[in-house]
Amino acid sequence: MGLDAVELVMAVEEEFQIAISDSEACECTTVGKLVELVHSRLRHTSKGPCPSQHSFYIARQKLIEITHIPRHQIKPDTNLGDIIPRKKRKKLWKKVTTALSEGVFYQNRLVRPKWMIYGLIPAFFVLSCATFIFWLGFPFSLAIISTLPVYIILVMTTQLFASEFPAEMSQVKDLIKLVKSLDSRTWSEEEVFAKIKTVTAEQLGINESLITRDAKFVDDLGAG
């Protein structure tokens, strides 16, 4: 896509607060095809379900604002670990989740690496055995109880090294469940067409009368 076409797609995304992939944009060779695509992403009736595209758009915009990741790198299946660097992960994760949940920090915070979690249990039993052997004849059950405070301290200390995303919150699409502000407006196809005409005219600097459903963006409207 040329620069004009890319800017037009971004303007449409912003206007309707939806996400349009590059492959989908390339298939929208006419105004009518773009209208159909956009309309399919919006709520059609007040009782209908709200498409997740609006939520994904908001999640992607927040990620761009906070992490400065290029738009094309953020897709629904993108792993959060690939776009949020480990070095600043705690700070950025808190910013992203707080922004998406309207100021409420998401409860499922970063977790410790699995090897660290699994390593704590053997460490606890080794410590208990060491206590038992050191005080020979000391009941093993009491040895376990006496080392519990140390285990709790270890758990709290290792929490400082939490840097992995929770399993249920590992991809960009998982952020959708955090979004609180969903678009409740309903759209008819004619309303979508009217709005796209206005956006297209502004972006390409042409008269709205030239914009019909059959008009081709490149050949007829000059979107190079």
Q: Which residue has better confidence, 22 or 52?
A: 22
Q: Does one domain contain both 62 and 78?
A: yes
Q: Does one domain contain both 176 and 102?
A: yes
Q: Does one domain contain both 64 and 100?
A: yes
DSSP state letters, the chain: --HHHHHHHHHHHHHHT----HHHHHH--BHHHHHHHHHHTS--STTSPPPHHHHHHHHHHHHHHHH---GGG--TT-BHHHHS-GGGHHHHHHHHHHHHTTT---SS--B--HHHHHHHHHHHHHHHHHHHHHTTTS-HHHHHHHHHHHHHHHHHHHGGG--BPPGGG-BGGGGGGG----------HHHHHHHHHHHHHHHHT--GGG--TT-BTTTTT---
Total of domains in the chain: 3
Q: Which domain holds residue 92?
A: 55-106+170-181
For the cut 80, the answer to whether the pLDDT of residue 156 exceeds it is no
For the cut 90, the answer to whether the pLDDT of residue 118 exceeds it is no
Q: Does one domain contain both 67 and 175?
A: yes
Q: Does one domain contain both 133 and 155?
A: yes
Q: Does one domain contain both 75 and 175?
A: yes
Q: Does one domain contain both 8 and 31?
A: yes
For the cut 60, the answer to whether the pLDDT of residue 132 exceeds it is no
pLDDT of residue 177: 82
**Integer Cα distance of 184 and 68 in angstroms:** 29
Quote the pTM value: 0.60
Q: Does one domain contain both 76 and 177?
A: yes
For the cut 70, the answer to whether the pLDDT of residue 21 exceeds it is yes
- Sorted by sequence, the CB contacts under 8 Å of residue 81 that are 6+ apart come out as 164, 165, 170
pLDDT of residue 202: 93
Q: Does one domain contain both 59 and 42?
A: no
Q: pLDDT tens across 70-107, in order?
A: 988 999 999 999 999 988 888 898 888 888 876 655 65
pLDDT of residue 116: 65
pLDDT of residue 147: 63
Q: Does one domain contain both 177 and 187?
A: no
Q: Does one domain contain both 29 and 17?
A: yes
